[in-house]
Chains A and B, each alone.
Chain A
Amino acid sequence: MPAQLNLSSAELAFSLSSTSRRGRYRLGFDIGGTFTDFVLIETDSGQITSYKTLTTPQDPSKAVIAGLQELLRNAQAAGDDIETAIHGTTLITNALIERKGAKTALITTKGFRDILEMAKEMRYDIYDLLMVLPEPLVPRLLRYEVAERVDGRGRVVEPLAVADLVALKPHLEESDIDAVAVCFLHSFTNPEHEQQAVAWLKNELPGVSVSVSSEVAPEIREYERMSTTVCNAYVQPLTERYLTRLQRDLVDSGFRKQLYLMLSSGGITTVETAAQFPVRLIESGPAAGVLAAVFYGEKTGVSNLVSFDMGGTTAKMCVIKDGRPIMSDDFEVARVHRFKRGSGLPVRVPTIELIEIGAGGGSIARVDELGLLKIGPESASADPGPACYGQGGVQPTVTDADLLLGYLNPEYFLGGRMSLGRAAAERAVQSKLAEPLGMSLIEAAYGIYQVVNQNMISATRVHVAERGADPRKFTLIAFGGAGPVHAHQIARELKMQGYICPAGAGVASALGFLTAPVAFEFARTHIAHLTQEKLEDLDVIYAELEREGRARLAEAGVPEEQMSFVRKADLRHIGQGHEIVVELPFDQLADVALDDVLRPLFYSEYEQIYGYAHRHLGVEITTCRLTASGLRPQINLEKAETATESLSAAQAIKGERPVYFRELGGFVDTPVYDRYQLRAGMNFAGPAIVEERDSTAVIGPDADVHVDIYTNLLVTLKYE
């Protein structure tokens, strides 16, 4: 039966519909490597308008402005109807990966300029003798030193030699640099010398942007702090230029309100702060995706989630526990080997922790030297793409396997905008895999499916366990073109409760932009064994952090009464090498009984993660953390029409096709549901295929599907 594009009222919830009255809107837009995505939501009704256009890498704001005009036209809205605009971008990451940042100098404590190049003296691959290290962003020639020294207690051992700075001036001027990073030892405890140096630089070298480690990443460990500061300096001039330009163009389009930038931490910030600390924006796109998962979790009443976004080249997973994404400040950018930990430049800023593995629709399958079927991390990407794209690709990919197994509809890929070539997929899988492995075509295709899934399953299993969680208590939420195709097997093998396929998965991730609060994360290293007397010291630090937070929130236009502050601390048993982050719900720590309240709080959190705590040992703090945030915007989603009792899901079946399920012994005729015909409240059982324009959900056997009020598919897995 030919697939028919049939606009339903459910679909209208996500369509480019119009309203007659003028509404109030929130706008989110994301500049990715390939596409620039827009999502506009009408605040009251929850009506969403989205738009996608090709990114214009030479002048990114060109696509933004053109796209925005198109979007506004579609929504019949005007620029000044937009109350808030939130922006995410991969430009900063790309500048670091492609080494297209500013010519940057580094000034360090005398004797320590080579730290940037020596890094941690550790190998990221123990068997590769030809291992290559990432080239430092600042070459040795541009790394300068000045005499100054602060010791491990924050005491000045040697004052800053201003004469050294003066002597540097001609070099800095001659080398024609655009940015300078300053990183002195122990500046996270005593920033005095850094502040002096910065004042001097701003005075003597106007026009050169300055990044300073005690502001960018005030945490212990000089290499990581230096690397973060250098990354920041390296991208600062271009970020500033870009944001200035963008803001001006937005104003020209009629937008009058505040523009916010998405942070890697999942908060949003002002243009001014973003221009000062661009390094905090590196993972803004993926962070928005995770926030979308949190949002859908809320709407569907699930707070323990693993978000799973599978696109063309990679799959990204994030653990969301109790409605909160797991955070980390241990992030790397511009890796030499994308999937090898330790091969990149460390960036110590709060980041939503995602694991990324080389498993996407375009990932290439091959037979390795041991005669095993391996997938990725090499990807056929968009060009030439999987063999079935018919653009000259000859390597078998995950998408080719998905097609051969009946998971994808060759005539309804991207809603029918592209048709897939089965013959080319067969040729690729047959010649490159089936023959060398001595398997049948379908066995080889299913092999691809299984191996790529296993790669994701293993990574997820380890990652969830690392967080002291049990996957059986979690629900998977699938995004991306390939996510819903692979979600079923992943959720089942991890024995998860089920999985969610949000409606309009293509738009879904951009929705995350609209749900982010204004938020800033602060951290300060403070290492001490906790005693009752020393708790006062912590209050002093938290008060400082809070003052800073309050100022930043005020700058971002958050009214006092909407501000909230959460105190957290990195704690461990005395003598232990690893900390856990514990929330401290106290206004004054000095008033809290250490032995009766604080220590037990730590032990019980520790027990929850690792099963036991060493209650006879004291507690040590290493870092004070504070999150300062404004209110989280509530957004509504338009609700779908509810099915009347007489309407069964069968009415949404648009046909059937043979689909391969190993559990059922091979190909079975499987009903194909039209996502746009599904009504809220409908139920059906797997095996089933649900097709929509941007993705296909493959529901295996022993699964019940419920269509919720927003037409999300909630799939419950049944176990024996």
Chain B
Amino acid sequence: MHQKKRKSVMNQYVADPVALEIQWQRLISIMDEVDNATVRTSFSTIVGESRDFACILVDQDGSSLCQSSFSPPNFCVVLPRTAKALLAKFPLHTLQEGDVLCTNDPWIGTGHLPDYVVLTPVFVGGAPIAFIGTVAHLADVGGHRGDIEAYDVFTEGIRVPPAKLYRAGRENELLFEIIGNNCRVPDMVLGDLRAIVGTHQIGVRRLQEFLTDYNMDDIAELSYEIHTRSERLMRERIEALPDGVYEFGLDIDGYIEIVHLHAKIEVRGSDIYVDYSGTSPQTRLGAINCVYNTTYASTLYPFKCALVPGIPNNEGLFRPVHVTAPEGCILNCTDPYPVQARAKTTNNINQALFGAVWPILGEHAQAGSGSIWPFSVSGELEGYGAFSVHILPHGGRGAMRNMDGLPPIAFPHNSSVTSTEIMETEAPILMLHKEFLPDTAGAGRSRGGIGQVITFRNIGDESIAARVRPDKMFCEPPGIDGGQPGKVGEVRFNGELITRFPSLEFKPGDEIEMRMPGGAGFGPVSERPLESVRRDIEMGYITLAHAASEYGFVVESDELP
């Protein structure tokens, strides 16, 4: 029946674009409401403070229609793929009102175990017509205490296959018990799962009201129109790019061993084909393997930003981009390779893509960035109780064609850095400094964003566990069009350079220093205006020595500061 509707070219929205705009905006606002409720009722700081979750509305085929305004980009691309897999196991006609589906299987979901995907059908007239979906990074899934050193996914925690979390409105008690028994903070994890299901009820009610208000039975036609228009625009934008094959390969840190990423991008008509053949094979040296879903999402992101930044994200925009990665390579790893720290790889995919297609993206290409450097400490101490706090600081961001790179800021994901005072209140640590690190930014017409340095000291009486996940300690953030790479980072433990990052024993008085990379430059160094170099010296972003070696800047004697 819905198929029939879709074939009709002349649906009501073609005649009434106002209705389309109004209804689309209202769907987004429904997801914003679900999103707000998630923040308000969540237990973990990773959901509530760092906002590591997304709320997405999908149609009855499992295609995404819209996301809440603040949702992290990658989740929105992955969730519909997960939804389709869940529906393959629990077909539409078998669903009952009050069912809630879920999974955290990395190969079906977002690529590592902490991300649970929860999907609630919206029933109208006795049939499911859409789904409210959430992906959220939950606080714990059991498994080993390290982060990056793992042999396989089994050591990384519990895996929940596509399952019904609720059946016809009733909790699947056994499943709740299994999840709770297999993590360290069951109150927090089960509390968050229940909170998510609660927020979905808000979404279900709002969508039902929406249909009543507009006298609609389903959203098939609306979905069709949103997808069609979005796809059409995306295709127009791709069409405007010159056809051709663009290729770029680069080395990234990996873990213990350097990893090579290789992207071959073909722009043909209104389609883009991305192939990662030539990329390193999957590895057991570090949980840095990416499942295909994550690779796919990370591949779409730069194109979305460059071509249609202002259009609300939805599946129509994804359709013209096709991604292949050979099975068994690090960008399409097989079960049961370890995946927990896959962001160390996915965060660098944009560099391979921009490295290949920058010549055709105008001002919307970006040089390499300094990456995210997660740090956390946990333990149990008198006066602090059981604590676990994390901070997500960043290196400098890559330069754009005509814009210097930003100082430390999240990219390509998004998150918020924990305040020093919160860190120091919740754990026995002192941060000795958190400041810009001069001479780290890659030179160029536009220079990279400056990196930063943070040093942590254990001021407690006992040892605690510290985890650090650095990036770009070996492979620099790459420059574009003659722009110079950013400077690599370092981790020093009591002054000693370290390169292995299992859970670290952080003893009283110990210090961990994280020197984070700067972003890379864009464009020939010779084209940087002298006054910009002078200003960078004045601001202390670069030293005179760096100005001389990188920019050939010779200081007149009267200019000496």
Pair from one complex: yes
Across the interface, A121 reaches (CB within 8 A) one of B15, B188, B394, namely: B394
Q: Is B170 an interface residue (CB 8 A)?
A: no
Comparing B16-24, B97-105, B256-264, B322-330, the segment that makes contact with chain A is B16-24
Q: Is A369 an interface residue (CB 8 A)?
A: yes
Q: Is B66 an interface residue (CB 8 A)?
A: no
Q: Is A115 an interface residue (CB 8 A)?
A: yes
In the bound complex, do residue B364 and residue A577 qualify as a contact, i.e. CB atoms below 8 Å apart? no
**Would you give the 0/1 interface string for A79-112, flagging 1 where the beta carbon is closer than 8 Å to chain B?**
0000000000000000000000000000000111
In the bound complex, do residue B406 and residue A133 qualify as a contact, i.e. CB atoms below 8 Å apart? yes
Q: Is B417 an interface residue (CB 8 A)?
A: yes
**Would you give the 0/1 interface string for B427-441, flagging 1 where the beta carbon is closer than 8 Å to chain A?**
111111111100000
Across the interface, B41 reaches (CB within 8 A) one of A153, A157, A223, A610, namely: A610
Q: Is B552 an interface residue (CB 8 A)?
A: no
**Would you give the 0/1 interface string for A402-418, flagging 1 where the beta carbon is closer than 8 Å to chain B?**
00000000000000000
| Alpha-carbon separation in the docked complex, A372 to B419 (Å) | 42
Q: Is B166 an interface residue (CB 8 A)?
A: no
In the complex, what residues of B have CB within 8 A of residue A112's CB?
A: 420, 433-435
In the bound complex, do residue A372 and residue B42 qualify as a contact, i.e. CB atoms below 8 Å apart? no
Given A112-B433, A129-B305, A450-B18, are A617 and B187 also a contact pair (CB < 8 Å)? yes
Q: Is A241 an interface residue (CB 8 A)?
A: no
| Alpha-carbon separation in the docked complex, A527 to B392 (Å) | 22
**Would you give the 0/1 interface string for B402-440, flagging 1 where the beta carbon is closer than 8 Å to chain A?**
010011111100111101111111111111111110000
Given A123-B410, A123-B414, A437-B17, are A220 and B421 also a contact pair (CB < 8 Å)? yes
**Would you give the 0/1 interface string for A109-138, flagging 1 where the beta carbon is closer than 8 Å to chain B?**
011111101101111011111110100000
Across the interface, B419 reaches (CB within 8 A) one of A220, A573, A577, A617, namely: A220
Given A127-B304, A139-B539, A370-B230, are A122 and B424 also a contact pair (CB < 8 Å)? no
Across the interface, A129 reaches (CB within 8 A) one of B185, B310, B400, B429, namely: B400
| Alpha-carbon separation in the docked complex, A344 to B400 (Å) | 22
Q: Is B311 an interface residue (CB 8 A)?
A: yes
| Alpha-carbon separation in the docked complex, A575 to B48 (Å) | 11
Q: B492 to chain A: closest CB distance in Å?
A: 16
Comparing B26-34, B55-63, B113-121, B290-298, the segment that makes contact with chain A is B26-34
In the bound complex, do residue A115 and residue B434 qualify as a contact, i.e. CB atoms below 8 Å apart? yes
Q: Which residue of B lies closest to A461 (CB)?
A: B29
**Would you give the 0/1 interface string for B38-52, flagging 1 where the beta carbon is closer than 8 Å to chain A?**
011111110111000
Q: Is A374 an interface residue (CB 8 A)?
A: yes
Q: Is A141 an interface residue (CB 8 A)?
A: yes
In the bound complex, do residue B433 and residue A527 qualify as a contact, i.e. CB atoms below 8 Å apart? no
Q: B187 to chain A: closest CB distance in Å?
A: 6
Across the interface, A577 reaches (CB within 8 A) one of B24, B49, B187, B423, namely: B49
Given A122-B409, A130-B400, A371-B17, are A223 and B36 also a contact pair (CB < 8 Å)? no
Give residues 516-546 of B contacting A (CB, 8 Å). 538-541
In the complex, what residues of B have CB within 8 A of residue A54's CB?
A: none
Q: Is B371 an interface residue (CB 8 A)?
A: no
Q: Is A245 an interface residue (CB 8 A)?
A: no
Q: Which residue of A lies closest to B411 (CB)?
A: A123
Given A112-B433, A465-B36, are A451 and B22 also a contact pair (CB < 8 Å)? yes
Q: Is B368 an interface residue (CB 8 A)?
A: no
In the complex, what residues of B have CB within 8 A of residue A113's CB?
A: 435
Q: Is B25 an interface residue (CB 8 A)?
A: yes
Given A123-B411, A129-B364, A141-B538, are A451 and B21 also a contact pair (CB < 8 Å)? yes
Q: A329 to chain B: closest CB distance in Å?
A: 15
Q: Is A455 an interface residue (CB 8 A)?
A: yes
Q: Is B133 an interface residue (CB 8 A)?
A: no
In the complex, what residues of A have CB within 8 A of residue B24's CB?
A: 372
Q: Is B393 an interface residue (CB 8 A)?
A: yes
Given A462-B32, A575-B43, are A130 and B430 also a contact pair (CB < 8 Å)? no
In the complex, what residues of B have CB within 8 A of residue A457's CB?
A: 26
Q: Is A562 an interface residue (CB 8 A)?
A: no
Across the interface, B311 reaches (CB within 8 A) one of A369, A529, A573, namely: A369
Q: Which residue of B lies closest to A224 (CB)?
A: B419
Given A126-B72, A129-B306, A617-B187, are A577 and B45 also a contact pair (CB < 8 Å)? yes
In the bound complex, do residue A185 and residue B421 qualify as a contact, i.e. CB atoms below 8 Å apart? yes
| Alpha-carbon separation in the docked complex, A612 to B37 (Å) | 13
Q: Is A203 an interface residue (CB 8 A)?
A: no
In the complex, what residues of A have CB within 8 A of residue B433's CB?
A: 110-112
In the complex, what residues of A have CB within 8 A of residue B33's CB?
A: 461-462, 465-466
Interface size on B, residues (CB 8 A): 90
| Alpha-carbon separation in the docked complex, A155 to B430 (Å) | 12
Q: Which residue of A lies closest to B385 (CB)?
A: A529
Q: Is A222 an interface residue (CB 8 A)?
A: yes
| Alpha-carbon separation in the docked complex, A368 to B229 (Å) | 11
In the bound complex, do residue A185 and residue B420 qualify as a contact, i.e. CB atoms below 8 Å apart? yes
Q: Is A21 an interface residue (CB 8 A)?
A: no
In the bound complex, do residue A152 and residue B421 qualify as a contact, i.e. CB atoms below 8 Å apart? yes
In the complex, what residues of A have CB within 8 A of residue B360's CB?
A: none
In the complex, what residues of B have CB within 8 A of residue A439's CB?
A: 17-18
Q: A155 to chain B: closest CB distance in Å?
A: 9
In the bound complex, do residue B409 and residue A121 qualify as a contact, i.e. CB atoms below 8 Å apart? yes
Across the interface, A462 reaches (CB within 8 A) one of B36, B364, B385, B434, namely: B36
In the bound complex, do residue B422 and residue A576 qualify as a contact, i.e. CB atoms below 8 Å apart? no
In the complex, what residues of A have CB within 8 A of residue B363's CB?
A: 130
Q: Which residue of B lies closest to A454 (CB)?
A: B22
In the bound complex, do residue A222 and residue B452 qualify as a contact, i.e. CB atoms below 8 Å apart? no
In the complex, what residues of B have CB within 8 A of residue A446's CB?
A: 18
In the complex, what residues of A have CB within 8 A of residue B313's CB?
A: 127
| Alpha-carbon separation in the docked complex, A465 to B366 (Å) | 39
In the complex, what residues of B have CB within 8 A of residue A149's CB?
A: 430
In the bound complex, do residue B21 and residue A374 qualify as a contact, i.e. CB atoms below 8 Å apart? yes
In the complex, what residues of A have CB within 8 A of residue B40's CB?
A: 466, 578, 610
Q: Is A62 an interface residue (CB 8 A)?
A: no
In the bound complex, do residue B419 and residue A221 qualify as a contact, i.e. CB atoms below 8 Å apart? yes
Given A120-B417, A578-B48, are A458 and B17 also a contact pair (CB < 8 Å)? no
In the bound complex, do residue A130 and residue B73 qualify as a contact, i.e. CB atoms below 8 Å apart? no
In the complex, what residues of A have CB within 8 A of residue B452's CB?
A: 114, 118
Q: Is B278 an interface residue (CB 8 A)?
A: no
| Alpha-carbon separation in the docked complex, A123 to B430 (Å) | 27
Given A114-B434, A121-B417, are A130 and B425 also a contact pair (CB < 8 Å)? no
Q: Which residue of B lies closest to A370 (CB)?
A: B229
| Alpha-carbon separation in the docked complex, A125 to B15 (Å) | 32
| Alpha-carbon separation in the docked complex, A438 to B17 (Å) | 9
In the bound complex, do residue B44 and residue A577 qualify as a contact, i.e. CB atoms below 8 Å apart? yes
In the bound complex, do residue A118 and residue B430 qualify as a contact, i.e. CB atoms below 8 Å apart? no
Q: A369 to chain B: closest CB distance in Å?
A: 6
In the bound complex, do residue A130 and residue B416 qualify as a contact, i.e. CB atoms below 8 Å apart? no
In the bound complex, do residue A372 and residue B20 qualify as a contact, i.e. CB atoms below 8 Å apart? yes
| Alpha-carbon separation in the docked complex, A371 to B540 (Å) | 48
**Would you give the 0/1 interface string for A354-396, flagging 1 where the beta carbon is closer than 8 Å to chain B?**
0000000000000011111110000000000000000000000
In the bound complex, do residue B25 and residue A458 qualify as a contact, i.e. CB atoms below 8 Å apart? yes
Q: In the complex, given contacts A157-B430, A222-B421, A610-B37, what are 14 additional A-B residue pairs having Cβ atoms less than 8 angstroms apart?
A: A112-B435, A121-B410, A126-B72, A126-B414, A128-B305, A152-B427, A157-B459, A369-B311, A439-B17, A458-B26, A461-B33, A462-B32, A465-B36, A577-B43
11 examples of A-B residue contacts, CB within 8 angstroms = A118-B408, A123-B411, A128-B309, A129-B306, A129-B309, A151-B459, A220-B425, A221-B419, A370-B233, A454-B25, A577-B47
Q: Which 8 A-B pairs have the closest CB atoms?
A: A111-B433, A577-B48, A152-B424, A458-B29, A447-B18, A121-B417, A127-B309, A372-B21
Binding site for B on A (CB under 8 A): 110-115, 117-118, 120-123, 125-131, 133, 139-141, 149, 151-153, 157, 185-186, 188, 220-223, 368-374, 437-439, 443, 446-447, 450-451, 454-455, 457-459, 461-462, 465-466, 493, 527, 529, 573, 575-578, 610-612, 614, 617
Binding site for A on B (CB under 8 A): 15, 17-18, 20-22, 24-26, 28-29, 32-33, 36-37, 39-45, 47-49, 70, 72-73, 185, 187-188, 191, 198, 202, 213, 229-230, 233, 304-306, 308-311, 313, 363-364, 366, 383, 385, 392-394, 400, 403, 406-411, 414-417, 419-436, 452, 459, 538-541
